[in-house]
C-alpha cells in the first residue's frame, strides 16, 4: 500500500525561500577587516540569490548540471552562490583554496567546471592556474582585488555586482528530482588523490534538519553563529543551509582567520556559537591568554575535524565557552556523531569523559565496527575496529565523470554498500564513539596498537607544550615506534625526560607506549583544512630532516 502523503521533493530552493521569507530579518554579517562589517538580511540574500541565478543562466549560459565552482572565503556572496547554483539545477563545486596548485587544477578539470566565482583577494592564486583550466569559460569576481591579474585569461571575466545588477529578485526555481546533484566537494587528499563527493538536494536537506536538532547544534533565530570552518570544507559543516532553515544569524570571517581578528569579531559582534577545527581554537586560546577580551557571548563551540584535546576543552570551559565535540568527514556531509552527554551523567564528574568522546550517532547514521578480518565487533567500549557507516547523508560512491559513472573502491566501500571510514575506535554500549586513531596513523608496535591521538592529548596537557604530533616511525625491533614532535609554548622550557615522565605519571600512558624518539619543531605542519599533516612529518623523518633525541 502506498502512503497518502504528498511527495514534495526536498530541495535547496525550499530551504532558501523558507529562510528568505520566514526569517527575512536574520542576517549574514561579513567581516571586512576595517570599518563596518557588511550586513545583509536573509530577505536581501534571497533577492540577490535569484539575481545571481538569472545572471548565470541568461548571461553565462549555465544550464543542466553544469558545474559552477567557487574559490571564496566565508562571506555573504558565497552564501548566495550556495543557494543560487543548486536551486537553479546546476552543481556547486566549492574549491579548497589551501590546496596545492596541481591538486586544484586536477580537481577543476576532473569536475569540468564551466564557471568559477572567485573573491578578488584570491586572484593571485587563480590567475596562474587558469591557463591549465580549459573547461572554465567564465570567471566572476567578487570583492576587492587586482583584476589586472586576469588580463590575459582565456575565460571571460565578469564583475559579480555588475552581473547581478538589475536582474529580477525572484526566480521560478525548477521542481527538481531531490536525488539529483546539488553540490560537490573533493576530499582534501590527505589519504591519496582527491575524491569527489557529490551531495544531493535530499542529503543536504536531511542533514540540515539533523544539524538543527537540539541533540546536535540546536541553534535558533536568537543565535549568531561564527562560521570559521570554511565553506569549502564539507559545506562549512552544513551550517549555511541549516541556518537558513531556522533563522540563525551567520557571522562570516571572510579572509580574517587569524586569532587577533577572530577575537575582535567575537568581542564586537557577540556570536553565541562558533564552529572550527581545534587548531583555530588553540590559536584563539593563546591570543586570549596574551590579550584578554570579552568573549562571554560565545557559550557554545562546535569542534571537529580532528580530535579535541582535553586540555583545550577544559581551557574553553574555564572561559565559559562550552565545547561540543563532533566527528565527521567529507563523505558524511559531515555530521556523523556529536558528543551530547546522556541525561544521567549531566552535572556528574563522568560528564567530561563523555564530552571528550566523538559522540553519539544521530538517527540518520547507522554504524558498525569491523575487525581486521572483516568480522563485526561488539559495542562494548573496548573492542577497537574500523568504523563503517551508512545513512541518507553518507556517500555511497565517488564521482568519476560526466557520464554519471561512479567509483566504489573496495577500501572505501564494503560489498554491502557501507562507507569504510578509515577511522579506528570503539563504541560503548550506549552508542558513544571513541576514535583512537586513523587506520593509517595508528602505531603498530610489536603486534600491539598505540594510539597517536592518546599520546598527543597527554602531551598537550603539559603546561609547556603548545602542540604535539605523534607519528609512527620504522623500528628494527618493534616494527614501528612512536616519534613525539613537540612545539613548546613561547618562552616555555621543558626537556624530553620531563615530558616523558609527565606521560608516565599516574599511569596516563602505559610504559611500553612511551616514545623514545623526540624532537622539537617550530610548528606542526598542517593540511589544507588545518589538521596535523602527519604525512609530512613521516617524510621529514625519513629524509633525516628532523633533529632526533633518543631517550
Closest distance to ligand ADP from the beta carbon of 244 (Å): 23
187 is catalytic: yes
Q: Give the footprint of ligand ADP on residues 277-306 (CB under 6 A).
A: 304-306
Of 114 and 531, nearer to ligand ADP (C-beta) is 531
Of 362 and 422, nearer to ligand ADP (C-beta) is 422
412 is catalytic: no
The DSSP annotation for 497-524 comes to HHHHHHHHGGGSS-GGGS-SEEEE-SS-
How many angstroms separate the CA atoms of 509 and 458, rounded? 8
CB atoms within 10 A of CB 151: 8
The C-alpha cell of 492 is what? 616555555
> Residue 163, by phi and psi: left (phi above 0), alpha (psi -120 to 50) or beta?
alpha
How many angstroms separate the CA atoms of 54 and 47, rounded? 11
Nearest to 83 by CA among 119, 49, 117, 34: 49
End-to-end CA distance of the chain: 71
Of 117 and 433, nearer to ligand ADP (C-beta) is 433
Q: Pinpoint the alpha helices (H) of 259-398.
A: 259-269, 278-290, 310-318, 350-356
Task: Tell me if 278 sits within 8 A of 306, measured CB to CB.
Answer: yes
Number of residues that bind ligand ADP (CB under 6 A): 24
Helix 12-22 with 76-87: angle, nearest 10 deg: 130
Of 156 and 526, nearer to ligand ADP (C-beta) is 526
Among the listed ranges 95-103, 347-355, 420-428, 472-480, the one in contact with ligand ADP (CB under 6 A) is 420-428
Which residues pair with residue 181 across a beta bridge? 200
Strands 335-338 and 322-328, sheet pairing: antiparallel
Q: Give the footprint of ligand ADP on residues 88-127 (CB under 6 A).
A: none
Of 449 and 478, nearer to ligand ADP (C-beta) is 449
Q: With binding defined as CB under 6 A, does residue 529 bind ligand ADP?
A: yes
How many angstroms separate the CA atoms of 175 and 359, rounded? 37
Q: With binding defined as CB under 6 A, does residue 531 bind ligand ADP?
A: yes
Strand segments (E) across 152-216: 156-159, 181-186, 196-200
- Cell 529578485: give the residue: 169
Of 208 and 330, nearer to ligand ADP (C-beta) is 330
Identified catalytic residue from 41, 190, 440, 449: 449
Identified catalytic residue from 94, 187, 357, 485: 187
Residues 74, 78, 80, 86, Cα dihedral to 10°: -120
Closest distance to ligand ADP from the beta carbon of 281 (Å): 13
Closest distance to ligand ADP from the beta carbon of 336 (Å): 8
Q: With binding defined as CB under 6 A, does residue 142 bind ligand ADP?
A: no
Q: With binding defined as CB under 6 A, does residue 46 bind ligand ADP?
A: no
Of 81 and 276, nearer to ligand ADP (C-beta) is 276
Closest distance to ligand ADP from the beta carbon of 279 (Å): 12
How many angstroms separate the CA atoms of 503 and 470, rounded? 13
Q: Give the footprint of ligand ADP on residues 304-363 (CB under 6 A).
A: 304-307, 325-330, 358
> For the purposes of burial, counting CB atoms within 10 Å of the CB of 467, is it exposed (0-12), middle (13-18) or buried (19 or more)?
buried
Closest distance to ligand ADP from the beta carbon of 42 (Å): 28
Identified catalytic residue from 331, 388, 454, 467: 331
Of 207 and 500, nearer to ligand ADP (C-beta) is 207
Of 105 and 494, nearer to ligand ADP (C-beta) is 105
Task: Tell me if 282 sits within 8 A of 312, measured CB to CB.
Answer: yes
444 is catalytic: yes
Q: With binding defined as CB under 6 A, does residue 32 bind ligand ADP?
A: no
Helix 278-290 with 259-269: angle, nearest 10 deg: 80
Q: Pinpoint the alpha helices (H) of 23-150.
A: 42-54, 76-87, 101-111, 123-126
Closest distance to ligand ADP from the beta carbon of 4 (Å): 40
Q: Pick from 249, 421, 426, 513 the residue near ligand ADP by CB under 6 A.
A: 421
Closest distance to ligand ADP from the beta carbon of 438 (Å): 4
Q: Pick from 80, 223, 423, 454 the residue near ligand ADP by CB under 6 A.
A: 423
Closest distance to ligand ADP from the beta carbon of 422 (Å): 6
User: CB-hemisphere CA count at 13 Å for 391?
Assistant: 25
Identified catalytic residue from 63, 175, 375, 444: 444
How many angstroms separate the CA atoms of 110 and 255, rounded? 27
Site string for ligand ADP, 180-199 (x = CB under 6 A): -------xx-xx--------
Which residues are annotated as catalytic? 187, 331, 444, 449
Which residues contact ligand ADP by CB under 6 A?
187-188, 190-191, 234, 304-307, 325-330, 358, 421-423, 435, 438, 527, 529, 531
Amino acid at each position: 500500500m502506498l502512503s497518502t502523503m504528498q511527495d514534495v521533493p526536498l530541495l535547496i530552493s525550499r530551504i532558501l525561500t523558507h529562510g528568505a521569507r520566514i526569517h527575512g530579518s536574520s542576517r549574514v554579517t561579513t567581516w571586512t577587516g576595517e570599518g563596518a562589517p557588511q550586513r545583509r538580511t536573509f530577505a536581501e540574500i534571497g533577492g540577490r540569490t535569484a539575481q545571481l541565478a538569472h545572471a548565470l543562466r541568461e548571461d553565462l549560459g549555465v544550464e543542466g548540471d553544469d558545474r559552477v565552482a567557487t574559490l571564496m572565503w566565508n562571506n555573504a556572496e558565497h552564501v548566495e552562490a550556495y543557494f543560487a547554483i543548486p536551486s537553479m539545477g546546476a552543481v556547486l563545486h566549492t574549491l579548497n583554496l589551501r590546496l596545492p596548485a596541481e591538486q586544484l587544477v586536477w580537481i577543476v578539470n576532473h569536475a569540468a567546471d564551466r564557471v568559477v566565482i572567485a573573491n578578488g583577494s584570491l586572484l593571485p592564486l587563480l590567475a596562474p592556474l587558469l591557463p591549465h583550466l580549459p573547461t572554465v569559460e567564465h570567471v566572476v569576481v567578487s570583492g576587492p582585488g587586482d583584476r589586472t591579474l586576469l588580463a590575459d585569461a582565456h575565460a571571460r571575466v565578469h564583475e559579480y555586482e555588475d552581473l547581478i545588477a538589475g536582474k529580477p529578485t525572484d526566480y521560478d526555481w525548477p521542481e527538481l528530482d531531490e536525488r539529483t546533484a546539488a553540490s560537490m566537494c573533493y576530499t582534501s587528499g590527505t589519504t591519496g588523490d582527491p575524491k569527489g563527493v557529490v551531495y544531493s538536494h535530499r542529503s543536504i536537506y536531511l542533514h540540515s534538519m539533523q544539524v538543527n536538532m537540539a541533540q546536535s547544534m540546536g541553534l535558533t533565530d536568537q543565535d549568531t553563529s561564527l562560521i570559521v570552518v570554511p565553506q569549502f570544507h564539507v559545506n562549512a559543516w552544513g551550517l549555511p543551509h541549516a541556518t537558513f532553515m531556522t533563522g540563525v544569524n551567520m557571522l562570516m570571517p571572510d579572509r580574517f582567520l587569524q586569532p587577533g581578528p577572530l577575537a575582535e569579531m567575537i568581542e564586537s559582534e557577540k556570536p553565541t556559537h562558533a564552529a572550527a577545527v581545534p587548531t583555530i581554537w588553540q590559536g584563539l586560546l593563546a591570543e586570549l591568554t596574551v590579550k584578554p577580551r570579552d568573549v562571554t557571548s560565545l557559550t557554545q563551540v562546535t569542534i571537529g575535524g580532528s580530535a579535541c584535546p582535553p586540555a583545550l576543552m577544559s581551557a574553553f570551559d574555564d572561559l565559559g565557552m562550552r565545547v561540543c565535540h563532533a566527528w565527521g568527514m567529507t563523505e558524511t556531509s559531515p555530521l556523523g556523531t556529536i558528543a551530547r552527554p546522556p541525561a544521567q551523567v549531566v552535572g556528574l564528574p563522568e560528564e567530561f569523559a563523555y564530552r571528550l568522546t566523538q559522540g553519539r550517532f544521530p538517527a540518520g547514521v547507522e554504524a558498525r565496527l569491523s575487525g581486521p578480518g572483516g568480522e563485526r565487533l561488539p559495542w562494548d567500549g573496548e573492542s577497537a575496529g574500523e568504523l563503517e557507516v551508512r545513512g541518507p547523508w553518507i556517500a555511497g560512491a565517488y564521482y568519476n565523470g560526466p557520464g554519471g559513472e561512479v567509483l566504489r573502491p573496495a577500501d572505501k566501500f564494503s560489498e554491502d554498500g557501507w562507507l569504510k571510514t578509515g577511522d579506528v575506535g570503539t563504541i560503548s554500549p550506549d552508542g558513544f564513539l571513541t576514535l583512537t586513531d586513523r587506520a593509517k596513523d595508528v602505531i603498530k608496535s610489536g603486534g600491539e596498537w598505540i594510539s597517536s591521538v592518546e599520546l598527543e592529548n597527554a602531551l598537550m596537557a603539559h603546561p609547556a607544550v603548545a602542540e604535539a604530533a605523534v607519528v609512527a616511525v620504522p623500528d628494527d625491533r618493534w616494527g614501528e615506534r612512536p616519534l613525539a614532535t613537540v612545539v613548546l609554548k613561547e618562552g616555555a622550557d621543558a626537556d624530553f625526560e620531563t615530558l616523558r615522565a609527565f606521560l608516565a605519571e599516574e599511569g596516563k600512558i602505559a610504559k611500553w607506549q612511551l616514545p623514545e624518539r623526540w624532537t622539537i619543531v617550530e610548528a606542526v605542519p598542517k593540511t589544507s583544512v588545518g589538521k596535523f599533516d602527519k604525512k609530512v612529518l613521516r617524510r621529514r623523518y625519513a629524509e633525516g630532516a628532523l633533529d632526533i633525541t633518543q631517550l
